[in-house]
C-alpha cells in the first residue's frame, strides 16, 4: 500500500487521535470497492450531526465508482480535482436545504459543514480516506440531479481506500508528501478573554 505511514498533525495541544491522524489524500485505490459498512456508519454519523433547531437541513448524493451518479459527480469537478478523484470508490455531494416552506434556513450551510465533518471523522475512524473539494460546478450538479431551487451543493467528497503513492504522478506524490501546516491557534483566535 502507500509508503506514507504517518501523516499525524503536530498539534499545539492534545487532540483526539482520530482528528490528528486524519488528512485529505488525493491518492485512492482505483480497484478497491467502497466498504459498505463503513460508508453506512459515516452516513449515520452525518445523520446525528447537530443542526439548528434540529432542522436537518441537508441531504447527500452518493455515487459509487462505475455508476452513472459517480460519473455525473466526476463530470462536475473542475481542474486538478477531475484528474484524481475518479479513483475514489465513491463521491458524495453534501447539499444544503437553504429554505423550507418558503422560509429561509439561515444556518443550513453551517449545518451541512458539520454534517460533512462528522461524516469525515467517522469514515477515518473506520479506515476510509476522504478528501473534500470546493472545485466543482454547482450548476452541473443541480442539473444532473434535478435539484430544487432550495437545494445548494456545498462540497463534494471523495471517499475510499488509500492508494499506493508510488503509483501516483510526481505532482500527486509531491502534494501527498508536503508537510502538513496550519496557522497557529493564537493567529486564529480573534478574542480570548
The full set of domain ranges for the chain reads: 27-177
Contact 58, 112 (CB under 8 A): yes
Give the span between the Cα atoms of 26 and 4, in whole angstroms: 12
Q: Is the pLDDT of residue 4 over 80?
A: no
C-alpha 127: how far from its chain's center? 14
Separation CA 33–CA 41 (nearest Å): 16
Mean per-residue pLDDT over the chain, rounded: 94
**In this structure, which long-range contacts are made by residues 62-67, counting pairs with CB atoms below 8 Å and at least 24 apart in sequence?**
62/90, 62/91, 62/92, 63/90, 63/91, 63/92, 63/93, 64/33, 64/34, 64/89, 64/90, 65/30, 65/33, 65/34, 65/89, 65/90, 65/160
Q: Give every CB contact of residue 191 below 8 A, 6+ residues apart in sequence.
A: none
Q: So what's the pLDDT on residue 6? A: 73
* pLDDT class of 5 with cuts at 50, 70, 90: low
CA quadruple 114, 95, 123, 87: dihedral positive or negative? Answer: negative
148 Cβ contact list (under 8 Å, min separation 6): none
What does the chain come to in residues?
Answer: 193
Residues 27-177: name the CATH superfamily: NADH Oxidase (3.40.109.10)
CB atoms under 10 Å from CB of 187, counted, come to 8
pLDDT value of residue 2: 43
Cell (9 digits) for 35? 466498504
Cβ(62)–Cβ(78) under 8 Å?
no
- pLDDT band at 180; cut points 50, 70, 90: confident
- The pLDDT tens digits for 88-145 are 999 999 999 999 999 999 999 999 999 999 999 999 999 999 999 999 999 999 999 9
> Phi and psi (nearest 5°) for 60?
-135, 155
Output DSSP code: residue 113.
H
Amino acid at each position: 500500500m502507500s509508503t506514507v505511514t504517518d501523516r499525524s498533525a503536530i498539534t499545539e495541544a492534545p487532540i483526539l487521535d482520530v482528528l490528528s491522524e486524519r488528512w485529505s489524500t488525493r491518492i485512492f485505490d482505483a480497484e478497491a470497492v467502497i466498504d459498505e459498512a463503513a460508508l453506512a456508519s459515516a452516513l449515520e454519523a452525518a445523520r446525528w450531526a447537530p443542526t439548528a433547531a434540529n432542522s436537518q437541513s441537508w441531504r447527500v448524493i452518493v455515487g459509487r465508482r462505475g455508476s452513472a451518479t459517480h460519473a455525473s459527480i466526476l463530470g462536475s469537478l473542475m481542474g486538478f480535482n477531475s484528474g484524481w478523484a475518479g479513483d475514489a470508490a465513491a463521491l458524495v455531494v453534501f447539499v444544503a436545504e437553504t429554505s423550507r416552506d418558503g422560509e429561509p434556513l439561515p444556518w443550513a450551510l453551517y449545518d451541512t459543514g458539520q454534517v460533512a465533518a462528522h461524516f469525515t471523522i467517522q469514515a477515518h475512524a473506520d479506515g476510509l480516506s476522504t478528501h473534500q473539494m470546493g472545485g466543482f460546478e454547482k450548476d452541473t450538479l443541480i442539473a444532473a440531479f434535478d435539484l430544487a431551487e432550495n437545494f445548494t451543493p456545498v462540497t463534494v467528497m471523495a471517499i475510499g481506500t488509500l492508494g499506493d503513492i508510488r503509483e501516483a504522478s510526481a505532482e500527486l506524490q509531491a502534494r501527498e508528501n508536503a508537510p502538513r501546516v496550519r496557522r497557529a491557534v493564537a493567529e486564529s483566535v480573534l478574542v480570548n478573554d
